[in-house]
């Protein structure tokens, strides 16, 4: 591990030196790339420096334990007690930081929430789950742009898609993909019975143009008149767009904008992200069994979480985590759940890398 840390520190100084080159101003793309690398390496270097400082203090205090002055010896023992767990903690932190990076971690995402089993209640819960993420995004200072929505009859959604942009969005939300189950008495239930419904959540890294190439001849683009509530908002032109990627059968529909061009641009963005996700899923199947065990299959038919409203309880089934603060969770306070998931998968990755991490 320490050979890697020395190499990281050397690379950090190299990048820092290159960023100081005035000629770099003529190469904005290279400057942005180096700035991102400098920030990423800087986090590791700062933690490594902290490690070395604690290590030096610990070594010094262990020597002072044998000092002839009883007071100094006693103080040194107390310092060793304090510094030992600090050193273990920063060592584990460095192990996490040295794990291979997911190339998608710094990307923006397409957040897709769809009603599953449960009829109207599933549509209502889809709207609530989307609002949960919307509130969480606002707390993070992220931006959320609606891309497409298919309302259901009583205030819910059959499907809702948004682009979420900000720092490390995919890294923070990538473990949210899967089936979310809700248990509660629906507003439409007259006899007070608890119903079980589901929604599916997809977290797709936003595709960049260089990552996905689409042959225009493989697309079928249909335009038609959008449906709406009528009145002044009704569309009088064929502004809705449906794009079908013929080789894969992927279909994207956008009708939220009054401009056909805007709907087409949004539909293409969604299509590219879905194609990137499909390609990465196919690639993941070729990885080792150890990696599959770490990240799961990614199959969105897997139930990952239950929201039990009568008991005010959220349970994440993958890690056995239960949180008894469901109202707060639905208001977007999901940091505890996201952090527990991230730590769980980091620990799995450490075991795969052969590190002996603390539990």
- Provide the residue range defining the domain that includes 263: 216-282
Instruction: Report which of residues 210 and 199 the model is more confident about.
Output: 199
Q: pLDDT band for 33, please (50, 70, 90 cuts).
A: confident
Of 192-201, 208-217, 285-294, which gets the smallest average pLDDT? Answer: 285-294
Q: What is the pLDDT of residues 158-179, one digit of tens each?
A: 999 999 999 889 999 999 999 9
Inside any domain, residue 359: no
Residue 2 reports pLDDT greater than 60: yes
Q: pLDDT band for 262, please (50, 70, 90 cuts).
A: confident
Last residue of a domain, one of 97, 117, 133: 97
In order, the DSSP letters of 179-195 are: EEEEEE--TT-SS---E
Q: What is the pLDDT of residues 40-72, one digit of tens each?
A: 888 899 999 999 999 999 999 999 999 898 999
- Judge whether 240 and 253 are in contact, CB under 8 Å: yes
- Judge whether 148 and 178 are in contact, CB under 8 Å: no
Give the separation between CA 4 and CA 353, rounded to whole angstroms. Answer: 14
Instruction: Residue 331: give its domain's CATH number.
Output: 3.30.70.1660
Using DSSP's 3-state secondary structure scheme, residue 162 falls into strand
Shared-domain flag, residues 200 and 249: no
Shared-domain flag, residues 187 and 293: yes
Q: What is the pLDDT of residues 73-108, one digit of tens each?
A: 999 999 999 999 999 999 988 888 888 888 888 888
Nearest of 250, 159, 173 to residue 205 by alpha carbon: 173
Q: pLDDT band for 129, please (50, 70, 90 cuts).
A: very high
For the record, the structure tokens of 322 come out as 């239960």
Which of the residue ranges 9-23, 280-294, 297-311 has the most confident prediction, judged by mean pLDDT?
Answer: 9-23
Instruction: Residue 70: give its domain's CATH number.
Output: 1.20.58
Using DSSP's 3-state secondary structure scheme, residue 153 falls into coil
The separation between CA 220 and the C-alpha centre of its own chain, rounded to angstroms, equals 32
Give the separation between CA 180 and CA 117, rounded to whole angstroms. Answer: 11
pLDDT of amino acid 236: 53
pLDDT of amino acid 234: 44
Inside any domain, residue 258: yes
Give the separation between CA 142 and CA 163, rounded to whole angstroms. Answer: 10
Number of compact structural domains in the chain: 3
Strand ranges in 177-335 using DSSP code E only, listed in sequence order: 178-184, 195-205, 219-224, 240-245, 250-254, 303-308, 313-316, 321-323
Residue 323 reports pLDDT greater than 80: yes
Give the separation between CA 22 and CA 10, rounded to whole angstroms. Answer: 21
Residue 230 CB coordination number (10 Å): 7
Last residue of a domain, one of 229, 249, 282: 282
Shared-domain flag, residues 265 and 135: no
- Judge whether 114 and 88 are in contact, CB under 8 Å: no
Q: What is the pLDDT of residues 244-258, one digit of tens each?
A: 998 888 988 888 777
Inside any domain, residue 31: yes
- Judge whether 153 and 121 are in contact, CB under 8 Å: no
| Percent of the residues in the chain that have a pLDDT greater than 90, as a whole number | 44
In order, the DSSP letters of 69-82 are: SHHHHHHHHHHHHH
Give the separation between CA 201 and CA 175, rounded to whole angstroms. Answer: 10
Shared-domain flag, residues 92 and 27: yes
- pTM for the model stands at 0.70
Last residue of a domain, one of 75, 97, 119: 97
Residue 357 reports pLDDT greater than 80: no
Inside any domain, residue 356: no
Shared-domain flag, residues 196 and 136: yes
Output the CA–CA distances (angstroms, integers) from residue 116 to 130, 143, 173, 181, 200, in the order listed. Answer: 14, 27, 20, 9, 6
Inside any domain, residue 34: yes
């Amino acid at each position: 591990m320490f050979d890697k840390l020395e190499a990281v520190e050397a690379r950090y100084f190299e990048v820092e030196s290159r960023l100081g080159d005035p000629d770099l101003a003529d190469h904005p793309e290279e400057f942005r790339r180096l700035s991102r690398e400098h920030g990423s390496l800087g986090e590791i270097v700062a933690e490594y420096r902290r490690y070395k400082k604690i290590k030096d203090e610990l070594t010094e205090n262990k020597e002072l334990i044998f000092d002839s002055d009883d007071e100094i010896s006693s103080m040194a023992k107390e310092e060793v007690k304090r510094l030992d767990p600090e050193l273990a903690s920063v060592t584990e932190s460095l192990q996490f930081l040295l794990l291979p990076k997911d190339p998608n971690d710094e990307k923006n995402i397409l957040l897709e929430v769809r009603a599953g089993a449960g009829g109207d209640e599933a549509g209502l819960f889809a709207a609530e789950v989307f609002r949960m993420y919307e509130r969480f995004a606002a707390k993070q200072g992220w931006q959320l742009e609606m891309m497409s929505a298919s309302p259901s009859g009583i205030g819910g959604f059959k499907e809702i898609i948004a682009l979420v942009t900000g720092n490390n969005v995919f890294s923070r939300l990538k473990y949210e993909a899967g089936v979310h189950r809700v248990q509660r008495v629906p507003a439409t239930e007259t006899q007070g019975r608890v119903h079980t419904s589901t929604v599916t959540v997809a977290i797709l890294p936003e595709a960049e143009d260089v990552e996905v190439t689409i042959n225009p001849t493989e697309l079928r683009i249909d335009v038609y008149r959008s449906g709406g509530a009528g009145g002044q908002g009704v569309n009088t032109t064929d502004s809705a767009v449906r794009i079908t990627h013929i080789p894969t059968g992927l279909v994207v529909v956008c009708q939220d904008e009054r401009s056909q061009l805007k709907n087409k641009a949004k539909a293409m963005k969604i299509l590219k992200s879905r194609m990137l996700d499909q390609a990465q899923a196919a690639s993941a199947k070729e990885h080792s069994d150890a990696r599959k065990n770490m990240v799961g299959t990614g199959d969105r038919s897997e139930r990952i979480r239950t929201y039990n409203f009568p008991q005010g309880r959220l349970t994440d089934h993958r890690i056995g985590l239960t949180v008894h603060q469901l109202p707060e969770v639905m208001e977007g306070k999901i940091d505890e759940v996201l952090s527990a998931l991230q730590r769980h998968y980091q620990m799995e990755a450490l075991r795969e890398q052969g590190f002996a991490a603390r539990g």
